[in-house]
């Protein structure tokens, strides 16, 4: 069994995420630039507004589902963990605010009430992963990693290569969503590392193995949903999706290894985004 071969303590923040992403990007997708090279433009015609609206619906569903799962987790799986409740309540409030903003953008871009579509999307998310996410702390954490941490690969690429952006979303996205999401990832990561630190050393390897297994299960369940997100994002913004499967896979491997304090080479083979 591979050893836990990295120190338990980790200064996890956005700067570390950027460093890790750039290491992966240079190795797997060097055509993605280190920083944006050309300014994006606003949506222009009806087709672009429709594509941006559909992507806004996906984002609304993603954030509203997070808020709902966090509410269930506070009242259920983590009813005795006050410290984690603060992190989850913060996430719940922020992501609900993001969802509400995205819903308004979807309505403006589509010229129709997107709520029925959003409700259907959230129901589909419950059917797909809701029961899984609330079954154990390992599953919950794996779900969080997918919904909050791993999607960063796509968001980094979008931030640097999107050609068309909904300018009505830009300011809120940069000034509110970006720092909120970094805070969510930091707090979830800190909770996990604190839990790992308080565990009996003999317990740690079991926990990490079960977390990796849950992460794999989550990847297999979520693969179609995640592939969809790349398609919708590409249709909306024209982001550079060349080699994005390899990029996502390598990013997930690197980040999962970092989060479980192992060398990436010591992780087992992982399911691909394409699987
Ligand atoms: Fe969010
Ligand atoms: Fe979030």
pLDDT tens digits, 28-38: 999 999 999 99
Q: How far is the CA of 262 from the centre of ligand 1 (A)?
A: 28
Spatial separation of the C-alpha atoms in residues 129 and 143, rounded to whole Å: 8
Q: How far is the CA of 244 from the centre of ligand 2 (A)?
A: 22
Q: How far is the CA of 181 from the centre of ligand 2 (A)?
A: 5
The pTM of this model reads: 0.96
Output 21-26 pairs: Cβ under 8 A, ≥24 positions apart. Answer: 21/152, 21/153, 21/156, 21/251, 23/254, 24/153, 24/247, 24/250, 24/251, 24/254, 25/156, 25/247
Q: How far is the CA of 205 from the centre of ligand 2 (A)?
A: 28
Domains, the chain, in order of start with CATH, read 14-266 (1.20.1260)
Query: pLDDT tens digits for 2-18?
Result: 556 678 888 999 999 99
What is the dihedral sign for C-alpha 38, 29, 229, 235? positive
Whether 56 contacts 235, CB under 8 Å: no
Query: pLDDT tens digits for 255-267?
Result: 999 999 999 999 9
Q: How far is the CA of 100 from the centre of ligand 2 (A)?
A: 13
Q: How far is the CA of 14 from the centre of ligand 1 (A)?
A: 15
């Amino acid at each position: 069994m591979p050893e836990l071969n990295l120190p338990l303590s980790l200064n996890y923040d956005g700067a570390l995420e950027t460093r890790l992403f750039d290491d992966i990007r240079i190795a797997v997708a060097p055509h993605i630039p280190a920083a944006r090279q050309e300014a994006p433009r606003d949506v222009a015609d009806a087709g672009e507004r429709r594509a941006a609206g559909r992507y806004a619906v996906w984002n609304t569903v993603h954030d509203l589902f997070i808020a709902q799962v966090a509410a269930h987790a506070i009242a259920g799986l983590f009813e005795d963990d006050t410290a984690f409740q603060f992190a989850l309540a913060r996430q719940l409030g922020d992501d609900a605010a993001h969802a509400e903003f995205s819903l308004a953008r979807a309505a403006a871009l589509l010229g129709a009430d997107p709520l029925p579509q959003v409700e259907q999307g959230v129901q589909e998310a419950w059917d797909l992963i809701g029961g899984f996410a609330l079954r154990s702390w390992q599953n919950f954490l794996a779900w969080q990693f997918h919904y909050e941490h791993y999607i960063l690969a796509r968001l980094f690429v979008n931030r640097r290569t999107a050609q068309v952006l909904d300018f009505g979303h830009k300011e809120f996205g940069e000034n509110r969503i970006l720092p909120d999401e970094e805070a969510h990832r930091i707090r979830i990561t800190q909770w996990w590392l604190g839990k790992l630190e308080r565990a009996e050393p003999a317990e740690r390897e079991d926990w990490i193995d079960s977390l990796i297994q849950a992460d794999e299960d989550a990847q297999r369940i979520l693969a179609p949903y995640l592939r969809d997100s790349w398609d919708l994002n590409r249709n909306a913004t024209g982001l550079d999706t060349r080699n994005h499967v390899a990029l996502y896979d390598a990013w997930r491997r690197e980040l999962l290894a970092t989060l479980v304090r192992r060398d990436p080479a010591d992780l087992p083979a992982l399911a691909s985004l394409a699987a």
